Amino acid sequence: MAETAPLVATQASPTTPSKRITSIIKLLVESPGLTNIPSTHTFTLNSHDQVVSDTEEPVPVIDYSLLISSSPDQRSKIIHDLRKACQDWGFFMVINHGVPERLMRSMIDACREFFDLPEEEKQEYEGKHVLDPIRCGTSFNTSVEKVFCWRDFLKLFVHPVFHSPSKPAGFSENLLEYSKRVREVARELLKGISESLGLGTNYIDKAMNLEQGLQVSIANYYPPCTQPELAMGLASHSDHGLLTILIQNGVSGLQVQHKGKWVNMNGYPNSFLVNTGDHLEILSNGKYKSVEHRAVVNKKAARISLVMAHGPSLDSVVTPAPELLDREGNAPAYIEMKYGEYLELQQSSKLDGKSCLDQVRI
């Protein structure tokens, strides 16, 4: 049993109705005298999952300025790089993306200020349903998990309709600008990826209706942990959408699966860390696999990451691209499903590698 205060418990007093605590990990870490983490947050990893290596192979780097350059030679080199990155890793860094450093910094600061808000103010944003457009909480989905992740989060649907908390001051303005800039980068990358699959430049954009595409902003707060080897910031999973773009506060913790091993991803300063999602795997009929990843925690420093997930429009019905199937003479390897339904399924389940995608595999 846990030796500390109740965790996913209710906080009741004679005068206030019972309320769920939204930033549980933050409160837990700030409570005095915590030396051992509670059993509710103790992960038992098999020995294979404990092994982590730093990369021996170089992590793919995509120079965004070349992708948008007018030189056909430069563009075709980058398309080639994107194809390799998606095939070999499902992960790459993006440099020279043009999103101002000051905007990235102020976004990370704004996320920190959000998590520092008094508990009562954050409670206003506690969502009731996994598809609520504003939702903060702890772990991933405490209603189905047996062990909880060392993470508090704030999830916001920022496109096609922009949602944001009104506090802290300036958060919403920064987020609106940041979401727009990052969405532009994601759409350009997806144009390159579309081309790299031998589909037209605009194929993914049109087929997935990216004009109305769902963009979700996820701010993650991972406080320091006295026993980081026993905890997990975010358990292994793949992302539901097409492409995810991550920045962080200079503290690393992201690990990706590569050739059967967990690899630490540090990223160049001010670069974007980008990974492929389940819907790119479905659309490409398994050519570009979604990458499994997780976040680990450390003893010393709180880590904040800000993730922008880009998917099809919620009402898009996604199937493997018929043009690819025809050209390659392959049968579809995934059933057709509405993106909104997949999203609900994924968000309602426990994080467990690629188990959600396995449900739509034929």
What is the contact surface with ligand OGA in residues (CB under 6 A)? 218, 220, 234, 239, 253-254, 293, 295, 305, 307
207 vs 219, beta carbon nearer ligand OGA: 219
Residue nearer to Ni ion on the CB measure, 188 or 239: 239
| Shortest CB 82 distance to Ni ion, Å | 20
Site membership for Ni ion, residue 278 (CB under 5 A): no
**CB of 37 closer than 8 Å to CB of 225:** yes
Structure tokens at 74: 């430069």
Which stretch in 135-143, 222-230, 237-245, 337-345 sits in contact with Ni ion by CB under 5 A? 237-245
For position 239 contacting Ni ion by CB under 5 A, the verdict is yes
Cα–Cα distance measured from residue 230 to residue 172, given in angstroms and rounded to the nearest whole number: 36
Single-letter amino acid code for the residue at 83: R
Hey, what amino acid is at 50? Q
CB of 13 to ligand OGA, least distance (A): 33
Q: How far apart are CA 184 and CA 13, in angstroms?
A: 48
**CB closer to ligand OGA out of 236 and 316:** 236
Shortest approach of ligand OGA to residue 254 CB, angstroms? Answer: 4
CA–CA distance, 312 with 310 (Å, rounded to integer): 7
User: Min. distance of Cβ 228 from ligand OGA in angstroms?
Assistant: 14
If binding is defined by CB under 5 A, does position 292 make contact with Ni ion? no
> In b/e form, how buried is each residue of 303-327, taking b as 16+ CB within 10 angstroms?
bbbbbbbbbbbbebebbbbeebeee
The least CB distance from residue 206 to ligand OGA, in Å, is 26
Three-state secondary structure call for residue 322: helix
- The 8-class DSSP code of residue 158 comes to E
How far apart, in Å, do the first and last CA atoms of the chain sit?
41
Cα–Cα distance measured from residue 216 to residue 243, given in angstroms and rounded to the nearest whole number: 11
Q: Which segment (149-157, 231-239, 310-318, 332-340) binds Ni ion by CB under 5 A?
A: 231-239
Residue 197 or 242: which CB sits closer to ligand OGA? 242
* CA 97 to chain CA centroid, nearest Å: 19
Minimal distance in Å, beta carbon 305 to ligand OGA?
A: 3
φ/ψ bin of 182: left (φ > 0), alpha (ψ from -120 to 50), beta (otherwise): alpha
- Cβ neighbours around 140 below 10 Å, total: 18
218 contact choice in ligand OGA, Ni ion, none (CB below 5 to 8 Å, kind-dependent)? ligand OGA
| Binding at 305: pick from Ni ion, ligand OGA, none (beta carbon under 5-8 Å per type) | ligand OGA
Residues that bind Ni ion (CB under 5 A): 239
